[in-house]
Amino acid sequence: MTIEIRQVCHPEAVRHFSAAELRRHFLIETLFVPGEVKLTYSHIDRLVVGGATPTSGAIKLESHKQIGSPNFLDRRELGVVNLGGAGRVHTDRAVHDLAPRDALYIAMGTKDVRFESLDAATPAKFYLVSTPAHARFETVKIGLDRARRVDLGDAANGNVRTIFQMIHPEVCRSAQLVLGMTQLKPGSMWNTMPAHVHDRRSEVYVYFDMQPDTRVFHFMGEPDETKHLVVSNEQAILSPGWSIHSGVGTSNYTFVWAMGGDNQDFTDMDMVPMDALR
């Protein structure tokens, strides 16, 4: 297992970042490495983001000096979403089979977490997001059929989409982690525009369901000093609370969003008027 550390950047400093500096601080270019657990520890709300890609055998989620406890989940909770082939997650004595797009919430205090692919030729790709936790809740598997579904947008604005709220107070209890998936319909390319910020929570996106020659232009930064990152398939974005987070693709795509912070209110957003964007 490998873990990379990302420090917090002040918004006044980010105003002067080059494209390369933006990518180094906010873009996670490689999530999935065959046979490995690859993580990024961000000091933005102490989010841990990464991927587990088992191939020939099961791989274990280990602790690390940065985690500061004997087991990874002693004081953390974990969201898992399978973006690859069929897989299996072992949590202590329990076994959870995850089809593509299934999610799993793993409770604080779980000591042994292992990831396995059911077919090494089409390995599972387990996307991982972890936040600190203060209480233990139930480990729960959440398929799209169990998620809270919200259909939004219209073709005229290029944003017809379905939001699946998976780790969400109305679906699955957690200490602070909120997670879901947004699917854009063919012909729709925009997400989260008009833009918003929510200084009470930070967020991380992973974009997927993209072709090799398609890209998402992800907009970030303070509303009056916006920047953008060009994002490929299965790459993730770290989004601090002060930053907008919006994107437009060269084709439709899907993304998993996850949040941690002071509340779990999905609707708690500070909207940014279009005429305020620069």
148-152 sheet: strands from edge to edge: 27-28, 235-239, 201-208, 254-261, 178-184, 161-167, 148-152
Determine how many CB atoms are found less than 10 A away from the CB of residue 10.
Answer: 9
The answer to whether the CB of 37 falls within 8 A of the CB of 72 is no
What does the alpha-carbon distance between residue 137 and residue 155 come to, in Å, rounded to a whole number? 40
Name the amino acid, one letter, at 81.
V
Helix and strand totals (H; E) in the chain:
2, 24
Q: Give the residue numbers of the binding site for Zn(2+).
A: 196, 198, 203, 245
Determine how many CB atoms are found less than 10 A away from the CB of residue 179.
Answer: 28
The structure tokens listed for 14 are 């980010």
What does the alpha-carbon distance between residue 225 and residue 221 come to, in Å, rounded to a whole number? 6
Q: Give the residue numbers of the binding site.
A: 196, 198, 203, 245
